Structure 1
């Protein structure tokens, strides 16, 4: 059974809960290339996407498919889910095709890749090069580790993006053949108890395919998969059921746990399913889990996942900075979940979480050159760290054996415009602030801002807009609104937005003061007791070995808050609009054995002026660390007197 399809050119074309939460086409937003978000998109276009396309060849992803068509004799290379690297790249290319329609530089690659996928696809629709390329593999045999549905999910998302962005349905035809096979295998009439994937991702993809095509079988299949999940049917080994999100039925799983990316991708899909089915119990369970993830298990940078062993969430408040895994894909998945939660609830806490991750935990993953990346994003790197492992390196790498993160970044950044605003030509909300234009039918909003380096956001209305809502970030204090010269306090409503009555020609100025905030950790986070973090606006800062005088070791530095931290100058080479300056005390290590008692009277020496040494301290945005030289770094800085 089908219904009329909805095909807005956006990653999540869901029905709006209120008119001003209507998703906008990606083509409705233009981010100026001189602003932070627009510059990131330009870097993504000019450097990251070409790099990723080239690495699809050198890493073996393309040859894995060509060997199925007889065009390559190379052995299979990479993880079993390597096909998904191509699918995410094709999605990034699709969003770029919509964003810059006059320059279709990657269309030949996208068309050739689509043709290759079609040729490699089996007659019944199955398309998974790892199984097809190995005689000892069988389709759907290992739902715990097989990843077929995960790969299908990314194929579907790429196909929907290509269809929406370019009107070309060639990839959609390939994806639907595979999806239709999955419906037969895992839909409501399937009898197998393990009829769901050990790595969630298919859920949000099939809901979007339903939205795009109107085919209700896709939505019904997601419902069936979700209802089966949590029975433990996937089995265990080497990790427990929670790793695969199979430990509890989804409505009973109220704590964020297990593999962080799996948990967060699942939640994005569950949010999509709840939106389409009006499932109140599912919505409530997701809200409870949101408070677990963001209230007790999120790093100050928006990073998610504190354990390296299984890339997982830890216990509540288990947030060690030096052992933080904080995988890039987990931050992206959290961003996607929060976008869907924002569209459903309209609550600014979700946009706050998106912003926190975007400017910190996601942005940190990519070097200023656009071609080097972090897989994990620690909040501290110690002097002498062994960075030989690609999962905890001392500097960014140009690719990974498990290369999920670079193409994931490419598709997110290419689609950033879709997350900036929602609404209609009479009512609109701004969620993320970036220099550029937002078009809502006959209305155009011109946004002028140097955000996140400056808190002034000027919005000029051209058209019949009646109501404009601007997010007041949770970090903000003493915000003001100026409407046609009249200044008032920017009072947020219950959702966290300041609503303004406007008309054609009106100019609205939102001023968000951006002093330096000194953040105290929650006392339950044992690893950073006696430390503080520095933040300005949404941007978390860090100190780095590269900014210390010769001979000073980062671990010997503590911050002296008797001198208030202040705003420092920009660093153009790091694409940074502001830094933070502070005062520090250097207490060189005496090389004593661990556990040696130090006389507490040493702190009296500091108060009397007998200090081992004082130095100026510069903190740079965390997202830009490791762009100058390898070396130690930390976000949480010990307080003087707390060493």
Structure 2
């Protein structure tokens, strides 16, 4: 197990406890100041988060709080018993945003305090809080742990309270959350503990929240309760189904399965517990299951979830395109899980997957204007797609009946700076590249580095040491898994940096630094064609376009004259770049050679299947000609970053392109 680090002073979503055993810990007060992520976060701060209260009001979430507090008449509004969680995720997002200050923070703070007041008023005397059951829906408290999700909601309440406390120092929401956690601790426990219920919520979330509440308050019983809930999975208490992660105990599992968000929230908690307790079995299981997910059940975009009907993982290498689920919340859960493993182990591979998921599977979930959302993120929308208008639509939507994804996106974007860097007590590690300022601990002294970059628009990353102790310390730079060529040089002379050691995804430079030292890391962002493992049947014979960390796709709007189902790519034609500052907020497009195929008629004219000519023993030259496509028309393909799709039209889209 990794060594014990001092207690974290980080102010983000993950703060290690005083006895944590981890290779790395989050840095204190990181900032993002310019560039790609600043633009996306500005939209989140200026558009998405401010519209939250209005949307929560129109959906009935805030009415329900007033209803159970006796401050408003009427009936419960909403389709699901877990609608309170949307309020809590918005409160968490708004709290992280308040930590950054800036224009509008006064109005946002007032809204946060108003809604915290509604939450406090709705809480029962014994600490219980769930408006669905308080309003008389269902069969009573904890009567439906499979679908009622009281503990799932409690988890989001706790995370919102921790965020608000870390961001503002405010105690009111933390007091509400602790009262609910204390209540839960009197109700749930193993047989013989004196608690009336020995079970768990079928949607994990409270587990990792309880770990963070322990980190915030120092109360050991919250950590113990989190461990109890993780341990009870896999013993048949929820029917023994993979859907609820109840088929096999986590420490014995050999693959991820069931509902993708539930699985990954549970694994994030397991990684948290391994970090805080030092348990090798939990750490080993967490890494084993991450590996199974990353190598056999993750899409090119970093998205996870193969099935629409249960929002779950499929079999190994079952990675469909148009039926890919890839829920936005699952991408967020993947990032949260991977970040905890990056801290626990110090391995770069976890941050590689974070980068891929952030720029693609996650970011596609919100429109460029911050107004509309995707619940699912397929890798293809076929010609003639018909939108059913539901939560599983492949068209952007203002809000959802199950509105879990929008406030989830808001909270990750608002806290994103806390996923970019870490320290090990002997220096600073940069996991992701964004313009900003990052502070590491170098044997008790501060090592401060500023970053200036337009990444991922270009691969030039300028690093300036702003503060340094007199003793040597190590600056570690992640070299992405996709990057085959890079250079590190001194900014003033252009000479290569001597003594830079590369290995296992990290480029480490140990030296005695001085304020003003500047290095330039350049990553080669040449566009490339990638292919999948041949066991991924859905894309065998296909290729996809990538540039740097970005996955690219075709949209119908860029290819007039037909749809995309008959388009193929010609791998022999070199990929070229075209800068389009006027397009989709400013993107670099990739141009490729391709064909639009003209489907051949069949002998009968109606049956869509035919023998391959070379496989038909009775084929004649005339018959072969009749069944052979005419080669189609050569066309130029224009690919845009996947995160920007569905912002101009509702036409077809595809990531994987046939090469035949």
TM-score tier after normalising by the smaller chain length: over 0.9
1:18 and 1:195, CA in 2 relative to 1: closer, same or farther beyond 3 A? closer
1:115 and 1:85, CA in 2 relative to 1: closer, same or farther beyond 3 A? same
2:49 paired residue number:
49
1:20 and 1:219, CA in 2 relative to 1: closer, same or farther beyond 3 A? closer
1:5 and 1:29, CA in 2 relative to 1: closer, same or farther beyond 3 A? closer
2:428 paired residue number:
428
2:24 paired residue number:
21
Structure 1 residues 356-367: aligned runs within 5 Å: 356-367=356-367
1:531 and 1:491, CA in 2 relative to 1: closer, same or farther beyond 3 A? farther
2:186 paired residue number:
184
Distance 1:190 1:38 in 2: 51
2:644 paired residue number:
624
1:314 paired residue number:
314
Distance 1:326 1:53 in 2: 27
1:120 paired residue number:
122
Structure 1 residues 195-210: aligned runs within 5 Å: 195-210=199-214
The alignment status of 1:391 with 2:419, answered yes or no, reads no
Q: Is the 8 A contact 2:465 2:514 kept in 1?
A: yes
The alignment status of 1:225 with 2:237, answered yes or no, reads no
Where in structure 1 are there 5+ consecutive unaligned residues?
none
1:446 paired residue number:
450
The alignment status of 1:487 with 2:496, answered yes or no, reads yes
Distance 2:490 2:21 in 1: 25
SS of residue matched to 1:454 = coil
Distance 2:166 2:546 in 1: 39
Task: Using the TM superposition, give the Cα deviation of residue 599 of structure 1 relative to its aligned residue in structure 2, in angstroms.
Answer: 4.2
Task: Using the TM superposition, give the Cα deviation of residue 11 of structure 1 relative to its aligned residue in structure 2, in angstroms.
Answer: 0.5
Distance 2:202 2:306 in 1: 20
Structure 1 residues 226-375: aligned runs within 5 Å: 226-235=230-239, 241-375=241-375
Between stretches 619-628 and 97-106, larger displacement belongs to: 97-106
Task: Using the TM superposition, give the Cα deviation of residue 444 of structure 1 relative to its aligned residue in structure 2, in angstroms.
Answer: 3.2
Distance 1:337 1:151 in 2: 19
Distance 2:594 2:275 in 1: 51
Picking from 521, 529, 544, the partner of 1:518 is: 529
SS of residue matched to 1:263 = helix
Distance 2:582 2:95 in 1: 31
Q: Is the 8 A contact 1:118 1:174 kept in 2?
A: yes
Task: Using the TM superposition, give the Cα deviation of residue 295 of structure 1 relative to its aligned residue in structure 2, in angstroms.
Answer: 0.5
2:480 paired residue number:
473
Picking from 209, 212, 215, the partner of 1:211 is: 215
The alignment status of 1:60 with 2:60, answered yes or no, reads yes
Q: Is the 8 A contact 2:302 2:356 kept in 1?
A: yes
TM-score w.r.t. structure 1 length? 0.93
Task: Using the TM superposition, give the Cα deviation of residue 100 of structure 1 relative to its aligned residue in structure 2, in angstroms.
Answer: 1.8
Q: Is the 8 A contact 1:6 1:214 kept in 2?
A: no
Structure 1 residues 88-167: aligned runs within 5 Å: 88-100=89-101, 103-134=105-136, 137-167=139-169
Deviations 1:120-175 (A, max 9, x none): 11110000000000165311112121201000000000000000100001000001
SS of residue matched to 1:324 = coil
Q: Is the 8 A contact 1:5 1:214 kept in 2?
A: no
Task: Using the TM superposition, give the Cα deviation of residue 214 of structure 1 relative to its aligned residue in structure 2, in angstroms.
Answer: 0.3
Q: Is the 8 A contact 1:5 1:213 kept in 2?
A: no
SS of residue matched to 1:138 = coil
Between stretches 132-141 and 553-562, larger displacement belongs to: 132-141
1:532 and 1:374, CA in 2 relative to 1: closer, same or farther beyond 3 A? same
Q: Is the 8 A contact 1:563 1:583 kept in 2?
A: yes
1:574 and 1:234, CA in 2 relative to 1: closer, same or farther beyond 3 A? same
Task: Using the TM superposition, give the Cα deviation of residue 580 of structure 1 relative to its aligned residue in structure 2, in angstroms.
Answer: 0.5
1:526 and 1:424, CA in 2 relative to 1: closer, same or farther beyond 3 A? closer
Where in structure 2 are there 5+ consecutive unaligned residues?
1-5, 615-620
1:76 paired residue number:
76
Task: Using the TM superposition, give the Cα deviation of residue 593 of structure 1 relative to its aligned residue in structure 2, in angstroms.
Answer: 2.5
Structure 1 residues 539-550: aligned runs within 5 Å: 539-549=550-560
Task: Using the TM superposition, give the Cα deviation of residue 575 of structure 1 relative to its aligned residue in structure 2, in angstroms.
Answer: 2.4
Q: Is the 8 A contact 1:457 1:511 kept in 2?
A: yes
SS of residue matched to 1:164 = helix
Distance 2:303 2:632 in 1: 35
1:321 and 1:19, CA in 2 relative to 1: closer, same or farther beyond 3 A? closer
1:594 paired residue number:
608
